[in-house]
Amino acid sequence: MGSSDDENQRYSAKAMHIDKRTFAGNVNSVKEHDDRKITGRAIDNFGHYQEINGANGESMPDDVKIAFDRYFKPSVIEVAGSSNEPWTYPSLKELNDIWTRVMPDDFTNQFPAYATVTQKLVAEVVNEWRDSFGNAALETIHIIFEENKLQDDEARKTYIAQIMKGGITRREYYFTGTGVLKGTFQTPIVAKTLSKHYQAIQDIHDDKSLKKPPKAALALAIFAIERTLKHYSNGLEGIGDLEALSKDTKAPKELPAVTSLTGKNTKGQDLISSNLWDKIVTAAKSHVEPSTTGVPEATNGDVVNGDVEPFPE
């Protein structure tokens, strides 16, 4: 994901609507005057509307918003979750492509008219999606504490130290086998946290699904687990901003170490094979509810250097 200036200029130039609203400006450079907040972040207004007929460009008609929520939103999350860059937002071109691919025929060609409000809504959607991993990790770890009767700080610290053995490339909590490397990323703690991704995209029609490995989603799930375990390993009780993962200022520095787990080694081997991805996804989906409609922090120096063997299934 991520957008270039050329790409944004190309799409901003196309942003004309039959109601004569004109979209102008470099989509990434013009900041809205009121600096409104979305989930705690100032969101740039990607360009500005020159209002000719009084329309403000800040909202969608009800029928478009319903289609946005039903079709566009889960598809945006799917694209974000399959990205190689979990801390970026979909580019303007990606949003246009998603819109064209999944929106009802009546709205297929109307993306330029709603480019500004769409990017604002997408920023909110992606931030909420990231936060869902923080919530899930916190909830799952509390369940583990209860199941193992880990009520005091020392007991929790001992337990966490045990499951975090192995460094970022071979954490014990990655594997289902006790003392055996198998079932990678299929443990309850990982699967339940990752399940939030599939909870969010479960209503995508099969013919509209990209069916790509959830690389960014898995990276965010592990990142959320890591930060929660580190929190409790320090004997801290208050949850602080554990749930608000999207506001974590350390993420840009620490995420590359986790994201590298979904890449390749120097031999060109995928660390996670396609067969293992299938198993990871199956484990995560098993936790999806039916739709009604004192450990060292990871740094860039921990990024997998390519000499790691592929993960066992």
- pLDDT, one tens digit per residue, over 108-148 is 999 999 999 999 999 999 999 999 999 999 999 999 999 99
| Distances, alpha carbon 5 to alpha carbons 9, 16, 122, in Å | 6, 19, 19
Bridge partners for 22 per DSSP = 16, 50
Q: Which residue has the higher pLDDT, 242 or 108?
A: 108
Bridge partners for 270 per DSSP = 264
> What is the three-class DSSP state of 294?
coil
Mean of pLDDT over the chain: 81
Give me the pLDDT at residue 178, please: 76
Query: Which of 215, 220, 262 lies closest to 245, judged by CA?
Result: 220
**Cβ of 55: how many Cβ atoms within 10 Å?**
14
- pLDDT, one tens digit per residue, over 22-67 is 333 333 333 333 333 333 333 333 333 323 232 334 689 999 999 9
- pLDDT, one tens digit per residue, over 88-113 is 999 999 999 999 999 999 999 999 99
Give me the pLDDT at residue 291, please: 78
Measure the CA–CA gap between 284 and 249, rounded to whole angstroms.
27
Residue bearing tokens 């936790």: 287
What confidence category does residue 181 fall into, taking pLDDT thresholds of 50, 70 and 90? Answer: confident
Q: Is the pLDDT of residue 77 over 70?
A: yes
Q: Which residue has the higher pLDDT, 5 or 232?
A: 232
What confidence category does residue 233 fall into, taking pLDDT thresholds of 50, 70 and 90? Answer: confident
Q: Which residue has the higher pLDDT, 181 or 112?
A: 112
**CB-based contacts of 260, cutoff 8 Å, min separation 6:** 303, 304
Weakest-pLDDT range from 5-14, 45-54, 70-79: 45-54
Mean pLDDT in residue range 10-27: 41
Angle formed by the axes of helices 115-147 and 215-233, nearest 10°? 50
Give me the pLDDT at residue 11, please: 52
Give me the pLDDT at residue 24, please: 38
